[in-house]
């Protein structure tokens, strides 16, 4: 059975991908192992009907799910609910390795539990739910994902029962997260988000260059005024806030993974001066780049963007 990809043309810009992952009737799990994620973004945001669990075995980079923006590194686990648009890329110069599970919780686990509330993945679309779990702060959750990957790789006797058991425990842990809420509005309407997909893809591929808001608006076939309004409606932040956070996130990964001078990292991530980089970094991360590099930011929440990016001076936006 092969993965099926369908191109869907939104009203504006390039098509997105609707991906269908094959599953068998007797064990409805699709497993993709050792998937290489390059430092060039997959320039088509995608979605699918299955619940997705991803485990990063190597590397680091950025990951976007709906309107939620995260940094990932080796040992982290991603949770992507059905029909949520997502996009990911590795840090510059890196190739990350991931393993993915795609499954329908009802089909896989329905006969093995009497608590069907555990199989409801819509609660994970709430804005407060983290779509990425850090291996240090969420050790048990990431461990469960790694164990599922190991079982599916080795396929030892009884591996299907082992995977089902691990899934039930993992879903139980996920439902206990403070952000998992039923009967709550989802974080982003896909129809609204689709209108600005060309701008998101342009930011992902060109964040290190001289990107202007006018160019992002043009990519979406909108006026600057209408684009700013649509962008804020979709992501609850301005285009400049989003671009600035993207740049700082990529810089964070480089600071931890390399010994490059801070000045070089600033320039390679779209900042024209070291001072503007330092101001932006401290406004978002609440510490200096050097403090982050030394490990002071181990408790930085890798979840929804909630930092005060507006403290960056307008002069730094030109």
Please count the structural domains in the chain.
2
- Residue 119's beta-bridge partner residues? none
pLDDT of 71 = 82
**Cα(194)–Cα(23) distance, integer angstroms:** 28
pLDDT of 306 = 32
| Domain presence at residue 99 | yes
| Domain presence at residue 34 | yes
> Do 254 and 216 lie in a common domain?
yes
CA angle 134/189/137 to nearest 5° reads 10
pLDDT of 175 = 95
The two structure tokens encoding residue 81: 């609910």
> Do 122 and 235 lie in a common domain?
no
> Do 8 and 111 lie in a common domain?
yes
pLDDT of 98 = 96
**Cα(56)–Cα(78) distance, integer angstroms:** 8
> Do 71 and 118 lie in a common domain?
yes
> Do 169 and 208 lie in a common domain?
no
CA distances from 27 to 31, 104, 152, 154 (A): 11, 10, 12, 16
Q: For residue 32, which of 80, 102, 103, 100 has the smallest C-alpha distance?
A: 100
CATH code, domain carrying 94: 2.60.120.280
80 touches 86 (CB < 8 A): yes
> How many other CB atoms sit within 10 Å of the CB of residue 228?
17
Q: In which region does residue 285 sit, left (phi positive, over 0), alpha (psi from -120 to 50) or beta (all else)?
A: alpha
| Domain presence at residue 189 | no
pLDDT of 39 = 75
**Residue with the two structure tokens 């070291």:** 274
> Do 220 and 153 lie in a common domain?
no
Q: What is the mean pLDDT of each run of 10 residues along the chain (318 residues)?
A: 45 44 69 87 70 94 78 92 84 88 92 91 86 94 98 96 96 92 53 80 86 94 94 87 87 83 93 95 91 68 33 34
The two structure tokens encoding residue 160: 């299907």
**Residue with the two structure tokens 């330092």:** 278
> Do 165 and 226 lie in a common domain?
no
Residues 6+ apart with CB under 8 A from 62: 69, 70, 71, 72, 88, 89, 91, 246, 249, 250, 253
CATH code, domain carrying 284: 1.10.10.60
> Do 201 and 164 lie in a common domain?
no
| Domain presence at residue 36 | yes
pLDDT of 310 = 30
| Domain end call among 175, 210, 234 | 175
| Domain presence at residue 183 | no
> Do 166 and 259 lie in a common domain?
no
Tell me the residue range of the domain where 253 lies: 195-317
DSSP H helix total and E strand total for the chain: 11, 11
pTM over 0.85: no
pLDDT of 302 = 39
> Do 166 and 215 lie in a common domain?
no
């Amino acid at each position: 059975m092969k993965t099926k990809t369908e191109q869907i043309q939104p009203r504006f810009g390039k098509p997105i991908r609707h991906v269908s992952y094959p599953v068998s009737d007797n064990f409805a799990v699709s497993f993709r192992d050792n998937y290489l994620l390059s430092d060039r973004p997959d320039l088509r945001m995608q979605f699918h009907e299955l619940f997705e669990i991803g485990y990063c075995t190597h590397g680091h980079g950025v990951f976007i799910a709906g309107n939620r923006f995260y940094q990932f590194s080796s040992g982290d686990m991603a949770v992507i609910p059905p029909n949520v648009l997502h996009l990911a890329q590795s840090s510059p110069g890196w190739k990350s390795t991931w393993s993915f599970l795609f499954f329908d919780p009802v089909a896989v686990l329905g006969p093995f539990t009497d608590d069907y509330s555990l199989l409801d993945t819509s609660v994970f679309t709430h804005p407060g739910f983290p779509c990425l779990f850090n291996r240090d702060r969420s050790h048990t959750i990431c461990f469960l994902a790694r164990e599922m990957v190991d079982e599916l790789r080795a396929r030892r006797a009884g591996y299907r029962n082992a995977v089902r058991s691990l899934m039930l425990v993992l879903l139980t842990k996920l439902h206990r997260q403070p952000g998992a809420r039923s009967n709550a509005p989802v974080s982003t309407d896909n129809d609204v988000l689709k209108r600005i997909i060309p701008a998101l893809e342009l930011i992902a591929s060109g964040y290190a260059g001289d990107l202007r808001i006018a160019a992002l608006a043009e990519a979406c076939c909108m006026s600057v005024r209408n684009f700013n309004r649509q962008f804020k409606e979709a992501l609850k932040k301005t285009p400049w806030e989003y671009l600035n956070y993207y740049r700082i996130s990529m810089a964070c990964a480089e600071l931890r993974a390399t010994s490059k001078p801070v000045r070089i990292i600033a320039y390679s991530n779209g900042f024209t001066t070291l001072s503007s980089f330092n101001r932006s970094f401290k406004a978002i991360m609440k510490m200096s780049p050097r403090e982050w590099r030394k490990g002071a930011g181990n408790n930085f929440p890798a979840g929804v963007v909630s930092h005060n990016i507006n403290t960056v001076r307008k002069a730094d936006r030109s």
